[in-house]
Structure 1
Amino acid sequence: MPVSPPRGSLDPDRLDAILDRVRALTVWVVGDIILDEYLVGETTRVSPEAPVPVVRIQNTDLRLGGAANVAAQLAVLGVHTELAGVIGQDPAGQDILRLCAAAQIDTRATLPRAGRPTSRKLRVLARQQQLVRLDWEDTAACPPDTGRDILQRLDTGPAPDVVILSDYAKGLLTPEIISDIMCGALAGGIPVVVDPKCNDYSTYRGARVITPNLRELQLATGRTLAAEDAAAVAAAAQALMAAAGAQALVVKLGAQGMLVVPADGPPRAIPAWRRAVFDATGAGDTVVALVAASLAAGATLFEAAQIANAAASITVGSVGTISVDADSITGVLMAGHARKVFDRARLVTQVHRWRLEGKRIVFTNGCFDLLHAGHLALLHAAARHGDILIIGLNSDESVRRLKGPARPLIPEGERAAMLAALACVDAVTIFAEDTPREVLQAIRPDVLVKGADYRVDQVVGHELVAAAGGKVVLVPLVPDKSTTALIDQIASRKDPAR
């Protein structure tokens, strides 16, 4: 079965629109609530009592886990989030409620139950390495009236835009409770997105999306699968999807990324972002949260999976469960895109941040109409003189004043986008003045770069840069490469008489 390669990407306006609409959502998260506890320290010796390391604890950390981590991820994005599940009448349960209150998660449907401990996982870490995990839990099935009680409490609040089932096999999501929730949601036309644990996916019949990882897919289908064999994974997912009556599966493949398998189209692969992986804990929670919220906000399935994939890439780069905000997701997805295009105020703020990081700021400017090899050579040379390269780009009106009414050939938005797509460029700012003097006054770069067809005293703003302790660098030009020459060359080919 063919698998389509990834194609198309979210443009900045589309991504902004989706993430803006996410903030207006109400989402119910129903599932197994877990308290994640971390004891972090250092180890330098082996215990004399047994062949185990001695860890000197330096700090402790409590975080929301399981369904509560899904809720925390949504809350960080501005979603009105209602968490439904069971906790114990114990200190860990109180910690859950306290952390939820701090995250502004509604817990009206979080039920304390006597005689049942709060699910809790305690991890001991040293040098970002997990040494041991201790679990407290009761995985006995909750009685059927638990589901009815949860739904009654949820119904006292606002209706959801989407329901998430976060199944960790801790006893809450029995087939009876899942059926109650699914039937209620589907009767109201509310989509349900499932992070599964049970092997009988018919339990989730009618789900909009199910998000198994590879191991869960293997257990549910009885097939041995390799993440690298996308066709086999897709075939297994489609068989499972048909049996479950689901509209789509998004299969999490770890280092291989994701495979998006819709019922009404070909499977599509999304490669993983290349990042150092410190801890995969909670990455699945991030995926189901972002897939559900993005779909409810109007994203296509593939767009939702792209957003979730980017968010998960941030999660695995940190130790323990974390929530990823919208700016971080945007930063990953828009790297190399128009996110590098700054207005002046935002550029000043960003330059300040770069300076706090000890970055050396390089600036050059121009019209960059019909980007050519000469431009690229200048930009690559400029980038070598510092850590951050900023381009000042003449606006369309500015170009017309300088070059005449027939220019520019390429509008400023497209010129800025092409420059922003270059790996050597960190920021582009469009200026409407004839010269970049006002931009230079605002950012005071460490290095001002121009082509060697200028003298230093002819470079606009040279005195501003020098006064701030910076310098002007003139770089050699590529012979016979200019936009004007390129235009003339094109015109002569169209009109041999010229």
Structure 2
Amino acid sequence: MSAPNRSGPLVVVGDALLDRDVTGTVSRLCPDAPVPVLDERTATDRPGGAGLAALLAVAQHDEVALVTALADDAGGARLAELLAGAGVAVYPMRLPGATAEKIRLRTGGQTLLRLDRGGEPRLAGEPPEAVRELLGRARAILASDYGRGLLRQPTLRAALADASAPVVWDPHPRGPAAVPGTRLATPNLDELRRLTGDALGGAALDATSRAAGELRRRWRVDAVAVTTGPDGAILCRAGGAPLVLPPPAVPDHVEDTCGAGDRFAAAAALALGDGASVADAVRAAVEAASAYVAAGGAAGLHRNPESAAPPLSARTADELAATVRARGGTVVATGGCFDILHAGHLATLQAARRLGDCLIVCLNSDRSVRALKGPERPVNPADDRARLLAALDCVDAVTVFDESTPHQVLARLRPDVWVKGGDYGEVELPEADVVRRWGGRVVTVPYLAGRSTTGIISAASQRGRHLLEGVV
């Protein structure tokens, strides 16, 4: 088996469907039955099933290929047209019968009825040589099973089992087991219950871990990540405790979760293809699926971007500042290294947030910290420091700057208030002159005495030396 190719395509293998959303208004009931009458306003076609997984992956990776079975009918032609137009390279296999279609009738952001077409699943024809060659040069492979039979094709299964690229298996209760050696299986809770026959009784985490362990052993896969909707995912591996991965944020309103599992599985496959650990890949997948749902899910794929602005927490620092200012709000900013986040930092950030309508943290980069603090710093890299800060309720955005002072980033953001923690006056702050140029003001907030990163590092070093001397 050859080494995986990290420059190759993400290959999605699975059942592609043609999805159609018919959206309209309801203002009356049908005269001959107690059902609502939908007055159609728009009808939107899009790839569904494995086709949607490929479509979502294109947003993350510039080379995505889809191996699927297509029928020789209008639905198959429309599906191929949509995928090609989105930049997905389609490798078709022959599908007897009709293309599967799922039609959703929707109003007010809700689905009234779903109509399925296509009949019973049929076994696809043999994969052409081009498919086997494609799998051999894949960066990562996502097996996206929608129960239509493609992943039961024996020659295709053999090629998947022989592939050197990491395989993520997104299962379906009516589909076959993952091929042995699969890196990660990604069932949701309902799929897990149906695949294992486990009623998932008892404590939720224990029951899910038990069933996931059973599936992992039965299928001989490396790991199972069970998606749990708004709670994120639970990762179960051999010989370790389950890893619970909550989403970074839960949106106040969920419009459409269709495709969230596809987004999760595609993001996990891409991360594994980049060399990430399984835990890091699942963490990235949770974040990607959460952002997808927050943006409207499948219903948001064709939305006019101008009519659907993302929430403030999802914007960059520059976009956030511009939006808050356009609304007549007050932009507050503060800055620092925040190398080891402690109670003093938290007190400053909480006080700063109360001074306006948003708080942006200007964070020194690793190079900037080294220039200010010496070669042993920072203790934590910028990505980790930014992530911790962004997780705080009082912080709305984080931006990293590379210079020794935040002058350039301040000139770009133009905050109304610049906040520092401490006892010094405005004249001692080098940023004061910069902030005044656009009418901003500089304020200080109380700083908790005795809390400092330098002090924490010094105390830890001394304690370590004393322990070492005691051992000697």
TM over 0.5: yes
Contact 1:214 1:227 in 2 (8 A): no
| Alignment pair present for 1:306 and 2:283 | yes
Name the structure 2 match of 1:117.
98
Matched, 1:268 2:235: no
2:40 matched to which residue of 1? Answer: 57
Q: Is the 8 A contact 1:182 1:206 kept in 2?
A: no
- Are positions 1:180 and 2:155 aligned together? yes
State which of 438, 446, 466 in structure 2 corresponds to 1:477: 446
Inter-CA distance 306–358: structure 2 relative to 1 (3 Å threshold): farther
1:306-355 C-alpha deviation (Å, 9 max, x unpaired): 122222223333242677xxxxxxxx9xx9xxx99xxxxx9667644664
**Mapping for residues 16-35 of structure 1, pairs under 5 Å:** 24-35=7-18
Are residue 362 (structure 1) and residue 343 (structure 2) matched?
no
Report the counterpart of residue 296 of structure 1 in structure 2: 273
The match for 2:146 among 168, 189, 192 is 168
1:138–1:170 CA contact under 8 A, matched in 2: no
1:421 aligns with one of 370, 388, 401: 388
Residue 138 of structure 1 aligns to which amino acid in structure 2?
G
Q: Could you tell me whether the CA contact under 8 Å between 1:362 and 1:382 is conserved in 2?
A: yes
- Cα contact 2:13–2:67 (8 A) shared by 1: yes
How many equivalent pairs are there? 439
Once residues 119 and 277 of structure 2 are traced to their aligned partners in structure 1, the CA distance between those partners, rounded to angstroms, is 38
Residue 6 of structure 1 is matched in structure 2 by none
Structure ID, larger Rg: 1
CA deviation after TM superposition for structure 1 residue 366, in Å: 6.2
Residue by residue over 1:61-99, the C-alpha shift from the partner in whole angstroms, topping out at 9 and shown as x without a partner, is 222110111211222211522212223333322221121
Which stretch shifts more, 260-269 or 25-34?
A: 260-269
Alpha carbons of structure 1 residues 315 and 450: separation in structure 2 relative to 1, 3 Å: closer
Residue 250 of structure 1 aligns to a residue whose secondary structure is strand
Match of 2:263 in 1: 286
Unaligned runs of 5+ in 2: 302-309, 464-472
Flag the 1:379–1:122 CA change in 2: closer, same or farther, 3 A: same
Of 113, 116, 121, the match for 1:132: 113
Please give the secondary structure, in 2, of the residue aligned with 1:386: coil
Q: Choose the corresponding residue for 2:213, options 224, 228, 238.
A: 238
Match of 2:413 in 1: 443
2:75 corresponds to 1:92: yes
- Secondary structure in 2 matching 1:380: helix
Structure 2 residue identity aligned to 1:421: L
The partner residue of 1:219 within 194, 210, 213 is 194
Secondary structure of 1:134's counterpart equals strand
Following TM superposition, by how much is the alpha carbon of 1:436 offset from its aligned partner in structure 2, in angstroms?
5.2
Indicate conservation of the 8 Å contact 2:15/2:149, yes or no: yes
Task: Give 1:198 deviation, angstroms.
Answer: 4.5
Q: Deviations over 1:248-298 (max 9, x none)?
A: 322223344322222454433323454243323112222222222222221
Whole-angstrom distance in 1 between the partners of 2:370 and 2:243: 45
**CA spacing shift, 1:156–1:440, aligned 2, 3 Å:** closer
Unmatched 5+ residue regions in structure 1? 1-20, 324-331, 341-345
Distance 1:171 1:400 in 2: 57
SS of residue matched to 1:299: coil
- 1:329 maps to which residue? none
User: Displacement of 1:168 after TM fit?
Assistant: 1.5
Partner of 1:14: none
Q: CA deviation at 1:439?
A: 4.6
Q: Deviations over 1:416-456 (max 9, x none)?
A: 765873423433555745x6555544432222345695666
Q: Distance in 2 between matches of 1:397 and 1:308?
A: 30
Shift in Å, 1:218: 2.2
Q: Tell me which of 316, 320, 324 is aligned to 2:293.
A: 316
2:20 is aligned, of 26, 37, 40, to: 37
Alpha-carbon deviation of 1:105? 0.9
